[in-house]
A and B are shown apart, each in its own frame.
Chain A
Amino acid sequence: MSVAALIIDDEVAIRQLLRVMLHDFGYMIYEAGTGQEGITMASALHPDVILLDIGLPDMKGTDVLQQIRQTSAVPIIMLTVHDDQHQKVLALDQGADDYVTKPFGEQELMARIRVALRHRQVMSAPTVVRVGDLVLDLVQHRVERTGTVIHLTPIEYELLRVLAINAGRVVTHTQLLREAWHEATYQNDGHYLRIYIGHLRKKIEADPTRPHYIITEPGVGYRLMEPDTEG
């Protein structure tokens, strides 16, 4: 069964481009040129994934997102420009699954869609996550890299766990704080997060200045590299 994707973007050429890209991967394509149209089509056609431009002419991308989210849990990937971190964070906090920054490459976009789709399909949390050489056993609370056990503190483990169950997806600072600390935290506690991520990197990365596993999305959050498909 082919996957249905809804593209909501006011630029015809971008829609065309996305259609060509997605078509190659066997996706079925719906297109909407305005936010209003997009909302209607999302509720009528039940697409499997939505690509939503954040800068629509008729209404704010985040408003479209909110309206769709009221009725549907469909994976939504935002298309943004580089310099609006706040909008990205806002969209993610309002339930967007991920974002790609214009201009984006095909690989990047397809990876985002793939990850978002997988997270919707797998309802139960995974037991083992493999990311490159890193193996995270969520049942036994064990982390290994190339067969060597890595010892993590409880907070480091929690952080890695939250990143791992969202592997491939961006996790905002707020989400990480909420899910790893299990409590409401101030936004200012971001610097603790930064410190723990630093520690975690030193333990799992070969070169912490050029992280391979935990990637920083500046101003937004962190992303654990996309796991191997068989994981």
Chain B
Amino acid sequence: MRKQRLVANMKPKWRVLPRHWLEWADLRTFHHTGSWRGYVMATGLVAMLTMGLWLGREALEPVNIGFLYLLPVLFSALRWGLWTALYTALLGVMAFDFFFVPPIFSYAVSDLRYIWAFAVFFVVGAVTATLTTSLQQQAEDARRRARVIASLYELSRRIAAGNNLQEVVAAVTHHVQETLGVAAWVVLPDGSGRFPGSLTAFLPPRESLNRGVLQWVYQHGEPVGFGQRHKPELLYLPLKTEDTIHGVMCLGEYGHGHQFTDDERQIIEAITGLAAVSVARVQYEEAARKADLMAESERLHAALLDSISHELKTPLTMIMGAVDHLVKERGGLPDDQRTLLMNVRSGVWRMNRVITNLLGMVRIESGMLRLNCQPCDASDLIGVVLRQLSEVLITHPVSVTIPDDVSPLWVDEILIEQALVNVLSNAAKYSADGSPIEIACQSTESAITIAVKDWGIGIVPGEEEKLFQKFYRSSSVQHISGTGLGLAICDGIVRAHGGRVVATRNQPTGTIMTIELPRVSEGEPLRERGRQDHERGRFDH
């Protein structure tokens, strides 16, 4: 059983590494019993000393000899560590006893005072060994720390020079390669937290990276190593700051057999920490830069749209004004010329609507639609639209039904007005002169609906959905000019408000277009939303 477990421990495989290597390394130092070479050398030292002392024994007192035996203990402690030093002390006592304490060549002790001497010797040896070892340990620690710090300083200097993620990551991997001589990768997740993310593209070949382990390390934030127990050949370390994991650093390659030592691991741990902080910094910087760019591009976009709108509408204004003036001026104009002028006038209006719709479409498509929601009444909206379309609707009797208890709408007036204009002008456009149009408003528990009913040519069955596609024009209306934008915009606007537009067939002919807008209850939520909107408005303008 035990043997099997041992074998299992020796077999290279993926293991979660202890969180703090330093503790583990300390533990290992304590258990480190020294190499066999140390013991042999120590034995040799004691033997040589014994020989030397034997030759000069006439000139020395046994007490002096005892002291001289402390020398190899000291040396062993410095050179091979605590255990070897203790072994040397023991050996020294034995040699001292055997060769110099009468009776010579025997472990028997004639003078009991020597027993005390042995004890003192052993204690002094042990204490010296311990002190020396810990001193050496401290010196070693200091050296190690200095190495780590120097390494980190060098790395931080390189990282500071990097402006983007790519440079920072390259600095880290190069640094690892230079200081540790192993290949390193920094792998960052893609936008949805999947591995490997796009950023690995510029790194050295990464076929050998284990995707599943990457994902695991990223999710759990625990370091993982591949190899024999305590002798990992590959390290996958989370790049972790506070509570966020930014990516994974991978060190080592399959088959190279480089086993990471404790020293290296301490440096690696420090590098990982620095790399994590740097990656986080660059990522935040890039996010901020992106947001800035977005805002700037939105601003440009808006300015461009404004300027296009201005450019398109200015000529319309010229034509409109000129026609108006001509019609008025020439009161006695022949009827056909007057008709032509009036056609120009209605053409301008139509073009104006097309431009408004096109610009609206651009805004919706580019995601630049900013709702400026205000509470407003359906009756008010309908009134505005009817007024705006008074010339178009002059040939259609329009009836409006709005119950008194219809709750207010929370919408962007201008946009919903545009949606209604499109629906109503369609109703007028696709029905014969003189045929009525009905507008009915209703409020249900969750929504407010505005239905526009006409008795015109209606919609072909199966086209109820397609009507709202951009540039879609029904085969039944090919003979009537149009852009196929009106309903698409209407749909876009209503969707932006969280509502929907539904087309149904009216009986016996015609269409019912129903705009359904979510209902907002009056009172606190309204005020809350109002405040948010107000604040958002401030940022927008």
Partner-B contacts on A (CB < 8 A): 11, 13-14, 17-18, 20-21, 24, 55, 81-86, 102-107, 109, 187-188, 190-191, 194, 197-198, 208-211, 215-216, 218-219
Contacts and interface: CB of A to CB of B under 8 A. Distances in A.
Given A55-B306, A102-B314, A211 B383 contact: yes
B408 A191 contact: yes
Contacts of B413: 218-219
Interface string B348-362: 100010001001000
A3 to B, nearest CB: 18
Given A17-B322, A82-B356, A83-B356, A194 B380 contact: yes
Nearest to A9: B314
B366 to A, nearest CB: 14
B348 to A, nearest CB: 6
Interface secondary structure of B, over-half rule? helix
A198 B379 contact: yes
A106 B359 CA distance: 25
A8 B359 CA distance: 26
Contacts, number: 111
Contacts of B325: 17, 20-21, 24, 106
Given A11-B314, A55-B306, A218-B384, A103 B352 contact: yes
Interface residues of B, number: 49
Interface string B296-339: 00000000001101100111111111101100110000000000
A81 B313 contact: yes
24 contacts: A13-B318, A14-B317, A17-B317, A17-B321, A21-B325, A81-B310, A82-B309, A83-B309, A86-B372, A86-B537, A103-B316, A103-B352, A104-B320, A104-B321, A109-B321, A188-B534, A191-B375, A191-B408, A194-B376, A194-B408, A209-B400, A210-B383, A219-B372, A219-B414
A136 B374 CA distance: 30
B324 A55 contact: no
A194 B380 CA distance: 9
Given A81-B309, A188-B530, A210-B400, A21 B321 contact: yes
Contact of B414 (A85, A106, A188, A197): A85
Contacts of A21: 321, 325
A198 B380 contact: yes
A11 B372 CA distance: 31
Nearest to B316: A103
A16 B372 CA distance: 36
Contacts of B313: 81-82, 102-103
Contacts of B317: 14, 17, 102-104
A209 B414 contact: no
| Nearest 3 pairs of A and B residues by beta carbon | A103-B320, A106-B324, A191-B375
A188 to B, nearest CB: 4
